[in-house]
Chain A
Amino acid sequence: MSGLSTRERSAGAGGRASVTPFGESGDATPTGSPGAPLPPGIDLKRLAERPVVPLRHPVRWVITAVVLVLLLNFVQTLFTNPAWEWSKVGTWLFAPAILKGLQLTLVATAISAVVSFLGGIVVALGRISGNPVLSTLSWLYIWLFRSVPLILVLIFLFNLGNLYPTIGIGVPFGPQLELPTVTVLSSLALGVIGLSLSEIAYSAEVVRSGILAVDPGQHEAAKALGIPSRRQFTRIVLPQALRSIVPAYVNQIIGLLKASSLLFYVSLLDLFGVVQNLGSTYPTDIIPLLVVATIWYLVLTSVISVVQYYIERFYARGSVRVLPATPWQRFRGGVRQLSRRPAARPHESREVV
């Protein structure tokens, strides 16, 4: 209440009060611009009983109309311009070659997404840790792989056989276990490793920013309760960090999905690679093939976005008093309200859980 009265007082002090004594400023405009006196003979008390007319937004309507007209013009060309060749799009969309490329894109993206998320957590923890060796190494890793373009990483990896004909592990300058590079790593594995190496650098920073966003009081409370360090992280800090990690990381995954098209340059046929190849075999079908690739990328991104919505909702538990309704709940609520319309009061707030 006190807040309200303060606001009223300051509004009065600013000279914008609408209830000015009649005839004080002389030029009485009937529309009532700010500060203008009320026209005489108006019973404010009576007006106060009626709903206030909301402000109209004519410019918004004009912009909407212009955009709609442009959009409809474009949509029209989709039907009238024969170059789109929709029938060919239909046949290519589920062509076995395309589906195989799609599968490769999916597999490479999914594995890299998981690997780089886990790797990102490890590198982020390294950077945050008090151990100077670990944090310097983590910093160097991030610095290196954020600096080098992904395509360079991939091509480097595919020439690994030239650089290190065999790979092995062992005691430095001691006994070693060695295997030829080419047989150990298939080209898909190399592709996934390349994608992950570069992706880990980015996701480490995403994870780190999420961890930093958690209130330090949470670490303290967990410590004060004597919760073991690993559980402090997995049970208290990470779930809260995920709330800000998820949107940023999904962004990364979508970037990764499209970055996987670079695998084409190291002769792995992902969705984009297949389209590229088919395009040179069937030059007349280039446009429909590009449309097919676009459609599949759109589908994949849409699926990811829907999953993101629900993951975000899950990690929002406890951070808002009432979770917002899901689109489906909102839809059902809308249907219910329509069917009940005559009874529903306009300002009745519905509880959606």
Chain B
Amino acid sequence: MSAAIEIHNATKSYGDRTVLKGVDLTLAAGTVTVILGPSGSGKSTLLRAINHLEKLDEGYVAIGGELIGVTVRGDRLKERRERDILRQRARIGFVFQNFNLFPHLTVLENVVEAPIAQGVRAADARTRALALLTRVGLADKSGAYPRQLSGGQQQRVAIARALALDPDVLLFDEPTSALDPELVGEVLQVIRTLAGSGKTLVVVTHEIGFAREVADHVVFLDEGELLEQGPPGAVLSAPRHPRTRDFLDKVLA
């Protein structure tokens, strides 16, 4: 399964501070997009708007042609009911910077939680969860509690949890920035295996090497504006905008 993501005129303010200034972005189905940008440029806000964890003031997000979090009512967009939004989110996996695993549930219970909440039979959810845990290399940890795992292992569980509902879209918000340097590789490796699996991946990260190698599309945000986008070869090697160049110089220094 795969679905294209279409973002149109995404606009968002906190008080009198505009953090997204009419972002337009189309991401083809099944591709990997890396979002780059300085701290505070609105990367997380944009990513969280995709699964409606953040409400846009103007603009919309559509996945596979379906508006997320809003419906058309007359000549306006109107927010959906919470229940419908929750149902839509089941198609969108989200991986947080600090994992946000449920600490009182075991690794297996974390992964089966969403499917069981959606009414999947417990036995089926369990079989699928164990398969996913094997895929992220943690089959032997299914009975452990999250705090008994290393950061890298916790993030891999979080990825398995996000995959449990077989979503069309997977969103990653700096999945490796809370990790010790030697644990970054194992998490990026898992994300790499997901590229080309048909899911549409959007990754906010500062790992330029990863972007160069895995991304189909790189987007550069600055102060809530989409300054530049294109294939990694173009944006990363020959940035057109001086601010992109500045940022890359700092990150790669």
Contact = CB atoms under 8 A, between A and B. Distances in A.
A239 B145 CA distance: 15
B159 interface: no
Interface in A224-259: 224-229, 231, 235-236, 239-240, 243
Nearest to A315: B104
B161 A225 contact: yes
Given A223-B86, A318-B146, A239 B104 contact: yes
Given A225-B114, A226-B118, A226-B165, A318 B82 contact: no
Interface stretch (A108-116, A141-149, A154-162, A213-221): A213-221
Interface centre among B98, B102, B165 (most CB of A within 10 A): B102
A228 B86 contact: yes
A313 to B, nearest CB: 13
Contact of A235 (B51, B94, B113): B113
A88 interface: no
Contacts of A231: 117
B193 interface: no
Given A229-B86, A319-B104, A220 B96 contact: yes
A332 interface: no
A321 interface: yes
Contacts of B96: 217, 220-221, 224
Given A229-B86, A318-B145, A321-B147, A221 B102 contact: yes
B88 A217 contact: no
A221 B99 CA distance: 9
Contacts of B101: 221
B158 to A, nearest CB: 8
A340 B90 CA distance: 56
Contacts of A16: none
A315 B100 CA distance: 18
Most buried by A among B104, B145, B165: B104
A320 interface: yes
Contacts of A222: 102
Interface string A325-348: 000000000000000000000000
Contacts of A240: 102-104
B104 A226 contact: no
Contacts of B53: 220, 223-224
A319 B10 CA distance: 39
Judged by DSSP, the binding face of A is helix
B104 A318 contact: yes
A319 B89 contact: no
Interface string B96-136: 10101111111000000110011000000000000000000
A220 B99 CA distance: 11
A317 interface: yes
Nearest to A225: B114
A317 B117 contact: no
B155 to A, nearest CB: 13
Contacts of A226: 86-90, 114, 117-118, 165
Interface in B155-211: 161-162, 165
A175 B38 CA distance: 67
A197 to B, nearest CB: 32
Nearest to B161: A225
Contact of B104 (A217, A223, A317): A317
A321 B147 CA distance: 6
A281 to B, nearest CB: 53
B148 interface: yes
B83 interface: yes
A226 B148 CA distance: 26
B103 A217 contact: no
A326 B199 CA distance: 48
A217 B101 CA distance: 9
A284 B78 CA distance: 79
A227 B104 contact: no
Given A224-B94, A225-B117, A228-B117, A218 B100 contact: yes
Nearest to B114: A225
Nearest to B118: A226
A231 B105 CA distance: 14
A224 B103 CA distance: 16
Contacts of B165: 225-226
A166 B79 CA distance: 47
A226 B92 CA distance: 9
B29 to A, nearest CB: 21
A221 B95 CA distance: 9
A223 B83 CA distance: 10
Given A236-B102, A240-B103, A227 B86 contact: yes
28 contacts: A217-B96, A218-B102, A220-B53, A221-B101, A223-B53, A223-B89, A224-B92, A225-B89, A225-B90, A225-B113, A225-B117, A226-B89, A226-B117, A226-B118, A227-B86, A228-B117, A229-B83, A235-B117, A236-B102, A236-B113, A240-B102, A240-B104, A317-B104, A318-B104, A318-B105, A318-B106, A318-B146, A319-B104
Given A224-B93, A225-B161, 15 more contacts: A217-B98, A221-B96, A221-B100, A223-B53, A224-B51, A224-B94, A225-B89, A225-B113, A226-B118, A229-B82, A229-B86, A236-B102, A240-B102, A318-B106, A319-B147
